[in-house]
């Protein structure tokens, strides 16, 4: 079972990111679950969401305590104590950041990949919403699902021009990160 924790702020599409990742997995025949952990329901407040993906159905309803991966939609949240807590040994952190992988890896002491997701979203979608770009990067890094399946899942939410723009963004992102860099960790978690 691959468990992922997503950190962001209210208004950044954090819960949507979790739902989208689970929807993508379900669309590929996997069993998946996504749920938020709400604090104060207002824009800007830190929000956490969780995703579980497994080939077989599972029944647990507890929080994800030891994720294999973290997706951080706002890099300022890296300053918040506890954000990287519980990450499995060898786990990866994907951060929405303009900084380099090495700089962030050194800072966090963990395997970290960076993607300027807000800037890319602003360029391709006209809005700096980082979630789709980060998910495209995450799927490319882990290879846990084909990147094209993300576009397919987005088809349930968007149509026409907006869907096309998202598809172009996903293609662009897939070329910017190393395919399969985190495949080993993903395979180990799902084994």
**What residues line the site for another protein (CB under 8 A)?**
15, 18-19, 22-23, 26-27, 31-36, 38, 41, 58-63, 65, 153, 156
Nearest distance in Å: CB 1, another protein: 10
Point out which residues pair with 108 in neighbouring strands: none
Q: Considering the complex, what minimum distance in angstroms separates the CB of residue 43 from another protein?
A: 16
Tell the smallest beta-carbon distance from residue 60 to another protein (Å): 4
What is the nearest approach in angstroms of another protein to the Cβ of residue 113? 25
Question: Whose Cβ is closer to another protein: residue 52's or residue 111's?
Answer: 52
- For residue 60, with 0-12 CB atoms within 10 Å meaning exposed, 13-18 middle and 19 or more buried, which class applies? exposed
Closest approach of another protein to the CB of residue 178, in Å:
28
As given in the structure block, the two tokens for residue 184 are: 């080993």
- Taking alpha carbons only, the member of 89, 183, 87, 97 closest to residue 138 is 183
Residue 151's nearest CA partner among 118, 116, 124, 126 is: 124
Q: What is the largest CA-CA distance in the chain?
A: 42
Instruction: Pick between residue 18 and residue 173 the one whose CB is nearest to another protein.
Output: 18
Distance (Å, whole) CA 98 – CA 90: 23
Comparison of 39 and 126: residue with beta carbon closer to another protein: 39
d(CA 145, CA 183): 11
Minimum distance of another protein from residue 111's CB (angstroms): 26
Identify which of residues 62 and 191 has a Cβ nearer to another protein in the complex: 62
Q: Which is nearer to another protein, 31 or 110 (CB)?
A: 31
User: If DSSP codes are grouped into helix, strand and coil, which group holds residue 42?
Assistant: coil
Q: Which CB, 35 or 187, lies closer to another protein?
A: 35
Q: Give the other-Cβ count within 10 Å of 109's Cβ.
A: 8
CA dist 107 and 99 (Å) reads 11
């Amino acid at each position: 079972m691959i468990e992922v924790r997503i950190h962001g702020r209210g208004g950044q599409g954090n819960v949507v990111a979790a739902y989208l990742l689970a929807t993508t997995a379900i669309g590929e025949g996997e069993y998946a679950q996504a749920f938020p952990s709400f604090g104060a329901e207002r824009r800007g407040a830190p929000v956490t969401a969780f995703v579980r993906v497994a080939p077989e159905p599972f029944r647990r309803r507890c929080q994800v305590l030891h994720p294999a991966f973290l997706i951080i939609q706002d890099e300022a949240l890296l300053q918040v104590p506890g954000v990287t807590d519980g990450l499995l040994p060898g786990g990866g952190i994907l951060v929405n950041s303009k900084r380099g992988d090495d700089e962030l890896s050194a800072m966090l002491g963990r395997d970290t990949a960076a993607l300027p997701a807000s800037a890319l979203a602003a360029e391709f979608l006209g809005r700096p919403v980082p979630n789709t770009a980060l998910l495209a990067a995450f799927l490319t890094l882990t290879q846990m699902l084909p990147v094209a399946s993300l576009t397919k899942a987005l088809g349930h939410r968007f149509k026409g021009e907006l869907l096309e723009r998202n598809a172009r963004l996903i293609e662009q992102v897939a070329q910017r990160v190393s395919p399969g860099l985190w495949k080993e960790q993903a395979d180990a978690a799902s084994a």
